Amino acid sequence: MEFSARQIAELIGGVVEGDPQVRVSGLARIEEGKAGSLSFLANPKYTPYLYSTASSIVIINHDFVPERKVQTTLIRVPDAYAAFAQLLELYQQTHDDRKGVASLAFCAPGVQLGEEVYIGEFSYIGNETILGREVKIFPQVYIGENCQIGQGTVIYPGVKIYAGTQIGKNCIIHAGCVIGADGFGFASQTGNTYTKVPQTGIVIIEDYVEIGANTTIDRATIGATIIRQGVKLDNLIQIAHNVEVGENTVMAAQTGVSGSTKIGANCMFGGQVGLAGHITIADEVKLAAQSGVASHIRQKGAVMMGSPVIPFREYTRVLVHFKNLNKWVEKVQELERRLNELAGDTSKADEK
């Protein structure tokens, strides 16, 4: 499918600078552009490619001023990255525009299907589950009984969703996720044995949440594990039972959140962050990669790093001293040697 520069500008609210009739049929990075492709420029370090790219159209920011003549057609927008993301979403929608229930899919009695639903081969939909309008279930997905999936949500291959899970509208669940498995609940007994504590709660995922591949979200022991609206979880994240993640919080890969922890809104966690259980994290907290959090963070907007975490600026100052630790040890050892020598000289003088 081809689009002209004028059509694209209308879609993203841009202004064409160049040939409005030039057409593109694909997308490309600006440094790899070729005729018939669309690119964008947002990061200044890629500016030199604007003058050499073969892309037919490049999306740029309104305030960008070229240093020399540009051969390609430009579309100026307030935010080039956001505009290109919008086009990528439209592009994805055209490629994933599937409808209908495959003959090899299974829907149990009582399943309710909204209009224009897609269910791929070898997927299983449990009894009394409700799928909203335009929900897309790709092949080999398991959805247990009494689940609710909101309008426009996309669930990619191999996802497992346990009974009673509630997922809002326009969510994206990537391949291999497991949502609603039992939380890690065991009661210790005499003789170093453990008794399993039944996990009777559910998982609630609100609207516009995206969950990366192979992430796991456990059901609550009692009540609900809750992922609030707009949360973005990377691949390989573990959310334990009865956790609550505040709206628009984002977490990078391999983050682990222990049971009953409450995370505020608009937080940002780097990769491999670990949080202990039964703690509270305030709104807008930022945790650097590999941070370990063992206690509450009450300060809104705190920026923390380390394990255990300390304020980011304090950590950077400590890190400077840590890098020089060997030098300080050598100096202390030298001072000790000199003191021992002085002590020895003093002892000899006393003997005389």
pLDDT at 321: 83
Mind listing the pLDDT tens digit for each residue in 9-48? Answer: 999 999 999 999 999 998 999 999 999 999 999 999 999 9
Dist. CA 77–CA 70, nearest whole Å:
17
- What is the torsional sign of CA 47, 50, 54, 57? positive
Q: Which of 198, 206, 256, 213 is nearest to 227 (CA)?
A: 206
Dist. CA 138–CA 177, nearest whole Å:
13
Dist. CA 136–CA 59, nearest whole Å:
31
Active-site option among 62, 95, 174, 241? 241
- pTM greater than 0.85 (yes/no): no
The verdict on whether 241 is a catalytic residue reads yes
Residue 49 has pLDDT above 60, yes or no: yes
CB of 201 closer than 8 Å to CB of 222: yes
Three-state SS for 94-128 is HHCCCCEECCCCEECCCCEECCCCEECCCCEECCC
Dist. CA 126–CA 23, nearest whole Å:
46
Mind listing the pLDDT tens digit for each residue in 328-351? Answer: 889 999 999 999 988 876 665 566
Dist. CA 92–CA 87, nearest whole Å:
9
Q: Which of 245, 239, 185 is nearest to 215 (CA)?
A: 239
Dist. CA 197–CA 220, nearest whole Å:
11
Mind listing the pLDDT tens digit for each residue in 304-331? Answer: 999 999 999 999 888 888 888 898 889 9
Output DSSP code: residue 301. Answer: T
Dist. CA 157–CA 175, nearest whole Å:
5
